[in-house]
């Protein structure tokens, strides 16, 4: 049985657009400056369940949501995640079927790991989880390489990787050409159409590998 430390139901810091983020408990990498040491314990938090999977699917099925992000802890040391991810992957694949791959309505799964893409690929169990993800942010957080301008990653050794393209090309293919961004550019992609579900003002707790701040965002109905 695996535990999760936190289910963040609205997250704009860990991947593109509005996302649900699942923080899985347990990690043995022990990085210096780890952004959340509590989450290193495999017994921290609550047992993962299919009720949580249903909650995730309900949330990401809403038009405004871009998908799910897996973080930790270390998702790739919690391989039971694969069984919980299957229904979510199936929902996303059905949703995306027949859509232009560049459509803003495409949904996806991002995963963060302290392992590199190559280390994950070389391990059959971890590779299974990789193959269920669309984007991987890989590598340990290295304090000396911390750079606040980086997009969706904490230190410059980490890479934002397009998983499907990398698997097809048998080499790492980056997701972004330009991986630097100003913090002020961290704006959620609300998608288009009606936003009745989210009308109102929200505080987004943004926490990204050592950097924490609150951003006020007003969502209106078009």
Contacts to ligand SF4 by CB under 6 A: 27, 29-31, 34-35, 39-40, 72-74, 114, 140-141
Smallest gap, in angstroms, from Cβ of residue 33 to ligand SF4?
7
Q: Which of 61, 161, 150 is nearest to 110 (CA)?
A: 161
Nearer to ligand SF4 by Cβ, of 96 and 119: the residue is: 119
Question: How far is the C-alpha of 222 from the C-alpha of 210, rounded, in Å?
Answer: 35
- Which is nearer to ligand SF4, 64 or 116 (by Cβ)? 116
- Please state whether beta strands 159-162 and 200-208 pair in parallel, antiparallel, or not at all (unpaired): unpaired
Question: Please, what is the minimum distance in Å from the beta carbon of residue 69 to ligand SF4?
Answer: 14
Nearer to ligand SF4, 158 or 166 (CB): 158
Shortest separation between residue 29's beta carbon and ligand SF4, angstroms: 4
Show the tokens assigned to 154: 């904490």
- Report in angstroms the alpha-carbon separations of 56 from 110, 125, 137, 146: 14, 23, 21, 31
Shortest spacing between CB 145 and ligand SF4, in angstroms? 13
Beta carbon of residue 137, minimum distance to ligand SF4 (angstroms, whole number): 11
Of residues 117 and 141, the one with the C-beta less far from ligand SF4:
141
Which residue pairs from 184-188 have beta carbons closer than 8 angstroms and sit at least 24 positions apart in sequence?
186/12, 186/13, 186/215, 187/12, 188/12, 188/17, 188/18, 188/217
**CA neighbor of 88 nearest in space, from 54, 44, 123:** 54
What is the DSSP code (8-state) at residue 146? B
Beta bridge partners of 206: 213
Residue 60 or 70: the one with the smaller Cβ distance to ligand SF4 is 70
Q: Spell 48-79 as b/e; 16+ CB within 10 A means b.
A: beeeebeebbebbeeebbbbbbbbbbbbbbbe
Cβ at position 114, least distance to ligand SF4 in Å:
3
Of 16 and 74, nearer to ligand SF4 (C-beta) is: 74
Write down the least CB distance from residue 207 to ligand SF4, Å: 12
Comparing CB distances to ligand SF4, the nearer of 21 and 64 is: 21
Residue 17 has which token pair? Answer: 């657009």
């Amino acid at each position: 049985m695996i535990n999760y430390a936190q289910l963040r139901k609205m997250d704009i810091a860990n991947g593109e657009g509005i996302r649900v983020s699942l923080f899985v408990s347990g990690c043995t990498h022990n990085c210096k400056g780890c952004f959340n040491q509590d989450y290193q314990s495999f017994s921290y938090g609550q047992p993962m369940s299919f009720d949580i999977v249903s909650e995730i699917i309900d949330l990401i099925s809403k038009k405004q949501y871009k998908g799910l992000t897996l973080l930790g802890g270390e998702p790739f040391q919690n391989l039971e995640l694969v069984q919980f991810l299957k229904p979510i992957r199936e929902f996303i694949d059905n949703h995306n079927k027949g859509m232009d791959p560049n459509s803003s309505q495409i949904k996806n799964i991002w995963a963060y790991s302290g392992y590199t893409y190559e280390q994950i690929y070389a391990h059959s169990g971890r590779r299974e989880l990789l193959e269920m993800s669309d984007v991987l942010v890989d590598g340990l957080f290295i304090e000396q390489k911390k750079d606040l301008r980086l997009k969706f990653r904490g230190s410059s050794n980490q890479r934002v990787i397009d998983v499907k393209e990398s698997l097809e090309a048998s080499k790492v293919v980056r997701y972004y050409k330009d991986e630097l961004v100003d913090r002020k550019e961290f704006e959620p992609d609300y998608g288009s159409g009606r936003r009745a579900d989210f009308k109102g003002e929200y505080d987004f707790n943004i926490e990204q590998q050592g950097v924490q701040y609150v951003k006020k965002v007003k969502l209106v109905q078009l």
